[in-house]
Amino acid sequence: MALIHFIVLMYIHIFVEFSNGIQILGLFPKQEQPFSHDLESYNAVQWSTQSMAMFRAAISLSDKYGIRVGGRPINYSIVETMTTVNGFSALHLICQHINSDEEEGIVGIVGPLTSNDVRFLGPLVAQIGLPLVSYGATNADLSDSRLYPTFYRTISSDSILCQAIVELFQQFSWATCIMICEKNDYGYGGLKLMSEHYNTIISIKEQITFDPWSNTFHVDLKSTLQSSRSRIVLVWANQTTSTTIIQHALNAGLIGGSFVWVTTDQ
């Protein structure tokens, strides 16, 4: 999960605080917008709001305690993003924001929320030497410092989640699974990790894709599960999508009995 729309490169409204100092740019989803299933977890909505509050608090505390960079105070700009407008116009606005003569020197960026946004923005900010620190992008591919040399994150990579899942399977002596992934970067990233790095430990007997936009599976869920040689179902999806998938399974009479369900989100 590749997504078509990049949150950071959507319609944005920029709020700036001016003063004679350096500036850190914060990228956060607009709070009033209807969030889509493409976010990497349902909790990402609240987490993004909390992260923005912590971001503002950190800047305020730096001022309170006289923290300076090169003798200059630290200030911030916040870019509020939306998912409903052409991304190229937003990219142009972000570039204008970074290069504006009226803005203070931007020394770093906090955000964006999702891995797909980082895939697009990471190479751009690396070219201009800015660190990009995400609070929500979990895709393991982003750990490649050759492709994303200035990318950092304050959240664990999905590779850590994979290791935990493998340990769980080993604890119960499970060697196979049916993997259901949502049709976005998060789901496909998990499928890639499991199939490429842990295929000798866990054999994926069936791969099922669920599209949260159309609320459909690419195959018949009930017949695929019932005909499978595995009875362990691994759902790699965010909380909202996982709930929807489990509801489909309930309706099909696939919960309980011989099937064990494992989800990657709450």
Q: Are residues 149 and 167 in the same domain?
A: no
Residue whose token pair is 């729309």: 5
Q: Are residues 28 and 144 in the same domain?
A: yes
Structural domain ending residue among the three candidates 108, 130, 153: 153
Q: Are residues 144 and 171 in the same domain?
A: no
Give the mean pLDDT of 19-41. Answer: 66
Residue at 73: amino acid letter: P
State which residues form the domain around 184: 158-263
Number of domains in the chain: 2
How far from the centroid of its chain's Cα atoms is residue 51's Cα? 14
Q: Report the alpha-carbon angle 18-20-25, nearest 5.
A: 55
Q: Are residues 135 and 167 in the same domain?
A: no
- b/e sequence 95-119, b meaning 16+ C-beta within 10 Å: eebbeeeebbebbbbbbbbbbbbbb
Q: What is the mean pLDDT of the chain?
A: 82
pTM of the predicted model, to two decimals?
A: 0.78
Q: How confident is the model at residue 232 (pLDDT cuts 50, 70, 90)?
A: very high
Q: For residue 51, tell me if it sits in a domain.
A: yes
Q: For residue 28, tell me if it sits in a domain.
A: yes
Q: Are residues 181 and 118 in the same domain?
A: no
Q: For residue 2, tell me if it sits in a domain.
A: no
Does residue 13 surpass a pLDDT of 80?
Answer: no
In the prediction, which pLDDT does 118 show? 84
pLDDT digits (tens, 9 = 90+) for 125-154: 899 898 999 998 899 999 999 999 999 999
In the prediction, which pLDDT does 88 show? 46
In the prediction, which pLDDT does 102 show? 54
Q: Are residues 149 and 93 in the same domain?
A: yes
In the prediction, which pLDDT does 58 show? 94
Would you give the DSSP letter of residue 107? E
Does residue 176 surpass a pLDDT of 50?
Answer: yes
Q: Are residues 101 and 175 in the same domain?
A: no
Q: For residue 1, tell me if it sits in a domain.
A: no
Structural domain ending residue among the three candidates 153, 180, 200: 153
Q: Are residues 57 and 136 in the same domain?
A: yes
Q: Are residues 212 and 239 in the same domain?
A: yes
| Residue of higher predicted confidence among 166 and 6 | 166
In the prediction, which pLDDT does 69 show? 87
In degrees and rounded to multiples of 5, residue 177 shows phi and psi of -160, 160
> Which of 9-18, 22-31, 35-44, 229-238 bottoms out in mean pLDDT, i.e. has the lowest?
9-18
Q: Are residues 223 and 143 in the same domain?
A: no
Q: Are residues 130 and 246 in the same domain?
A: no
In the prediction, which pLDDT does 122 show? 87
Q: For residue 163, tell me if it sits in a domain.
A: yes
Q: For residue 204, tell me if it sits in a domain.
A: yes
Give the mean pLDDT of 238-257. Answer: 93
Q: Are residues 70 and 115 in the same domain?
A: yes
Structural domain ending residue among the three candidates 153, 169, 204: 153
Q: How many residues does the chain have?
A: 266
Residue 241: give its domain's CATH number: 3.40.50.2300
Q: Which helix (H) or strand (E) holds 15?
A: strand 12-16
Tell which residue, 87, 208, 193, 90, has the closest CA to residue 142.
193
Q: For residue 39, tell me if it sits in a domain.
A: yes
Task: Tally Cβ neighbours within 10 Å of residue 70.
Answer: 8
